[in-house]
Structure 1
Amino acid sequence: MKGHPQEEMLAQYGERMLLALEWLATFGADPEGGVTRLLYAEPWLKAQLALIDHMQSMGIKADFDEIGNVYGKLLGSDPSLKPILTGSHIDTVKNGGKYDGAYGVIASMMALGYLKAVYGTPKRTLEMVSFCEEEGSRFPLAYWGSGHVTGVLSLAEGAGLADPEGVTLLEAMARAGFEIDQGESQPAKRNGIGGYIEIHIEQGAVLEFKEKQIGVVTAIVGQIRMTIVVTGIPNHAGTTPMTMRKDALAAAAEMVAMTEKMAFAEGEPLVATVGRLEVKRGTSNVVPGEVEFTLDIRHTDERKMEAFRTELISRFVEIAARRELYIDTVEHLNALPVAMDSGISAEIEAACDFYGYEHIRMPSGAGHDAQLFGPICPSAMIFVPSRAGISHNPNEFTKPEDLIVGFQTLVHVLYQYGYGGKADENL
């Protein structure tokens, strides 16, 4: 920044950022202490509307796009320069923490507020975004927000998908007030984005273990998400001999155990998870006739990830055939591993050096919205430590001083691209 930044004002905005993060956690607060903000549900809508009001109170132009992403914009003086976008997702898992996604949304909003208050109009447009969805918690589809922005997803991918209560994604969208055919809102798909910068809690324990303040992400792992449906024959638990059973749950249990066994054999960095299993119409005295479970596979190497999936599914098919059952697989997500941009990452490291923050380069084992932006524009991520690596949990926690370190790093990088030495750079 120009000499030294306005340190007193920056400190004030850092404190305001912490308060705003607590404020956002009240939208969807659970009695157990966590936060539940699912796509298009009432707490989600109230949170997005509140963000718009908050940004407008700071003099930042803010509004929805057609699917419910919220943007805040500091319009630059040179419209020929492609904008820099920063932000994260507003949705949570069920009974999740108050930092995942929300920290990136609030830090980005307060960064734009600080830059406007101190430096006025940037040369390059700077935008923040609160993506409507990333987690895949309500519907079996992730990245609904950034997927539309990048053109990876469209309404067609949401057709027919329903939440556990039977409400379809498109019905929920309409109920929340987002009617695509109205033609009044900003189109979700964007072209000409100059770069994307996402700040996020690590959701792992590496930074805490290594006593580092900032992680500069080098790459994001690839991720496959699937639903597996095993179908047998429901029958009486007392009159059906073990040798005559077509037990879908027993087969699913064998498949889950096979997943763990093969993942251990493959070794790091591959991970495979069965996070949800549902016995359809299950009762204590009936042999289960249908079971559905999720499968999540992640790896930094696309080829190895796909090879593991292929081999694992073939084992599932063998288990089903041996037990004379049917198996169906549905893929909901296939996100390729994505390398982060070296240029923006270098600016993040320069910001850390400017402030004297301890930092390391590291991959991300979790999927993020930056993963979808990587193929279309220069993209980068900033990580701050997560206590004990806990996330997707009410006990998710990052120390306030670490949140402020990340915020100041983000501000410094955005300053460079909006006002400083990178403002004239064609991206």
Structure 2
Amino acid sequence: MNSTTGLLGEIADVGRDAKRGGYSRHAFDAPEHDLRTWFVERAQRLGLDVETDRNGNLWAWWGAPGPDAVVTGSHLDSVPGGGAFDGPLGVTSALAAVEALQAKGFRPAKPFAVVVFAEEEGGRFGVPCLGSRLMTGTIDADRARALRDPDGVTFWEAAAKSGLDVDRIGAEPERLGLIGRFLELHVEQGRGLIDLGSAVAIGSTVIAHGRWRFSFSGQGNHAGATLIADRVDPMLPAAETVVAVRRLATTRADARATVGRLVPTPGGTNVIASTVDLWLDARVPGPVTPELVEDISQAARTAAEAEGCSLTVTRESYSDDVVFDEKLRRDLGEWLGEVPELPTGAGHDAAILAGFVPAGMLYVRNPTGISHSPEEFAEAADVEAGARALAEVLERLAA
């Protein structure tokens, strides 16, 4: 029988990033395609019937699809240079749980599925949880089709090339209506379980978070021939905005605000940029996230005006605070015993689905406390403890 650790080992060489370290696996690229192929083969070995929905999400059904289904899973894509566990741990644990339940002769009384959501990280097209957002209708299909990756390739082009009928993407209420309970297992993306001394936790809440693109426009010019007094350089207000993000985030309790990507155009070392785009990731408990972003936007406008530049701020995604289903959390606590509950600042597909169906999460301890980095880790014993907990819960939910 395959352990979760063994299944993770099977995909350990897929999508390694020699430049950044860790893994780069993005929607519709070769590594992500290889992982999807691996998942289909693994699921079929367990006798599961695999289908791809209209939004590129994979569904592996144990028995016939139907209402009140028990669904578990996660994603296989990564951030650029991400760790080995973020996403794949939930998928491999789900497969290992199904195999363990089959080995003991269990057969679900309810419809049961393992799902792999597409483009959870937004690492290629910029919008996180794109597969679950499309399915739930929380992103407009036309907007999704028009999203572009850093090379200018649209989601429409990439998805069509992979074989998806892109004209059909969008809200899928019939499929969403099949889900009776959704449970996602994920490596913890912090150090809560280190401090609590527990291998596994139950997810309680996800704090409000979103992504915004700040586009500064100036005048591209020659770096050597243009006097300082004659410049309209968008890099200056962009740099001032990066500093303002940190400064303003410290004025609100438990706020997290980050600029992780900044792109000058044309990007030459001897060229004054004509435009600079930067992306803000902001997360604050409660409805104050937009207030923080407005303060940052005002600081950016002031800096842009001082340099003679223009600024456009575009919200690319936003999710309010999420509280996972109370009854499901209560059941998980009863079934798993002395397991703590944890809030998180990290977004997940489960948080998108929580607005539509009873959803919950399990976390597995990360002894480094680091995620979205090659240093992300989970001990084999904790990985297997998470898979056992998932199997126990799924058995009870599907009985």
TM-score normalised over the length of structure 1: 0.87
Are residue 55 (structure 1) and residue 43 (structure 2) matched? yes
Are residue 203 (structure 1) and residue 189 (structure 2) matched? yes
The one-character-per-residue Cα deviations of 1:83-120 (angstroms, maximum 9, x if unpaired) are 12111011111221110000001111221222233234
2:280 to 295, 301, 306: 295
Match in the other structure for 2:6? 19
Match in the other structure for 2:271? 286
1:324 to 304, 308, 315: 308
Aligned length: 396
| Root-mean-square deviation (Å) | 2.1
Q: 2-side partners of 1:101 and 1:209: how far apart?
A: 23
Match in the other structure for 1:74? 62
Q: In 2 relative to 1, CA 285–316 (structure 1 residues): closer, same or farther, beyond 3 Å?
A: same
Q: In 2 relative to 1, CA 266–243 (structure 1 residues): closer, same or farther, beyond 3 Å?
A: farther
SS of 1:203's partner is: coil
User: What is the CA-CA distance between 1:347 and the residue it aligns to?
Assistant: 2.3
Worse overlay, 149-158 or 330-339? 149-158
User: What is the CA-CA distance between 1:237 and the residue it aligns to?
Assistant: 3.3
1:347 to 331, 337, 358: 331
Q: In 2 relative to 1, CA 400–266 (structure 1 residues): closer, same or farther, beyond 3 Å?
A: same
User: What is the CA-CA distance between 1:134 and the residue it aligns to?
Assistant: 0.5
Q: 2-side partners of 1:291 and 1:139: how far apart?
A: 18
Match in the other structure for 1:28? 15
- Contact residue 348 and residue 409 of structure 1 kept, 8 A: no
Q: 1-side partners of 2:278 and 2:27: how far apart?
A: 21
Match in the other structure for 1:422? none
Q: 2-side partners of 1:121 and 1:404: how far apart?
A: 22
- Contact residue 66 and residue 187 of structure 1 kept, 8 A: no
The one-character-per-residue Cα deviations of 1:387-408 (angstroms, maximum 9, x if unpaired) are 2211122221100111111111
Q: In 2 relative to 1, CA 182–278 (structure 1 residues): closer, same or farther, beyond 3 Å?
A: closer
User: What is the CA-CA distance between 1:409 and the residue it aligns to?
Assistant: 0.9
Q: 2-side partners of 1:319 and 1:141: how far apart?
A: 27
User: What is the CA-CA distance between 1:230 and the residue it aligns to?
Assistant: 0.5
The one-character-per-residue Cα deviations of 1:331-379 (angstroms, maximum 9, x if unpaired) are 11011111011211122222321xxxx5321111111111111110111
Q: 1-side partners of 2:262 and 2:251: how far apart?
A: 23
Q: 2-side partners of 1:188 and 1:205: how far apart?
A: 38
Q: Percent identity?
A: 29
Are residue 46 (structure 1) and residue 48 (structure 2) matched? no
SS of 1:243's partner is: helix
SS of 2:314's partner is: strand
Q: In 2 relative to 1, CA 377–236 (structure 1 residues): closer, same or farther, beyond 3 Å?
A: same
Give the partner amino acid of 2:228: M
Q: In 2 relative to 1, CA 144–182 (structure 1 residues): closer, same or farther, beyond 3 Å?
A: closer
Q: In 2 relative to 1, CA 29–188 (structure 1 residues): closer, same or farther, beyond 3 Å?
A: farther
SS of 1:86's partner is: strand
Q: 2-side partners of 1:188 and 1:107: how far apart?
A: 27
Match in the other structure for 1:247? 233
Give the partner amino acid of 2:79: V
Match in the other structure for 1:152? 138
- Contact residue 222 and residue 338 of structure 1 kept, 8 A: yes
SS of 2:6's partner is: helix
Worse overlay, 207-216 or 361-370? 207-216
Q: In 2 relative to 1, CA 246–56 (structure 1 residues): closer, same or farther, beyond 3 Å?
A: same
Match in the other structure for 1:382? 362
Give the partner amino acid of 1:395: E
- Contact residue 223 and residue 270 of structure 2 kept, 8 A: yes
Match in the other structure for 1:4? none
Give the partner amino acid of 1:224: G
What are the residue-to-residue correspondences of 1:142-181 with 2, within 5 Å?
A: 142-180=128-166
Unaligned runs of 5+ in 1: 1-11, 420-427
Q: In 2 relative to 1, CA 189–251 (structure 1 residues): closer, same or farther, beyond 3 Å?
A: farther
Are residue 368 (structure 1) and residue 348 (structure 2) matched? yes
Match in the other structure for 1:412? 392
SS of 1:392's partner is: coil
User: What is the CA-CA distance between 1:276 and the residue it aligns to?
Assistant: 0.6
The one-character-per-residue Cα deviations of 1:171-194 (angstroms, maximum 9, x if unpaired) are 1111111124589xx999522311
Give the partner amino acid of 2:29: A
SS of 1:274's partner is: strand
Give the partner amino acid of 1:388: T
Are residue 64 (structure 1) and residue 52 (structure 2) matched? yes
Are residue 37 (structure 1) and residue 17 (structure 2) matched? no
- Contact residue 277 and residue 291 of structure 1 kept, 8 A: yes
Q: 1-side partners of 2:275 and 2:174: how far apart?
A: 38
Q: 2-side partners of 1:46 and 1:395: how far apart?
A: 23
Worse overlay, 364-373 or 57-66? 57-66
Q: 1-side partners of 2:15 and 2:308: how far apart?
A: 45
Match in the other structure for 1:215? 201
- Contact residue 47 and residue 62 of structure 2 kept, 8 A: no
- Contact residue 76 and residue 122 of structure 1 kept, 8 A: no
- Contact residue 221 and residue 300 of structure 1 kept, 8 A: yes
Are residue 96 (structure 1) and residue 82 (structure 2) matched? yes
Q: 2-side partners of 1:46 and 1:287: how far apart?
A: 40
Q: In 2 relative to 1, CA 282–55 (structure 1 residues): closer, same or farther, beyond 3 Å?
A: closer
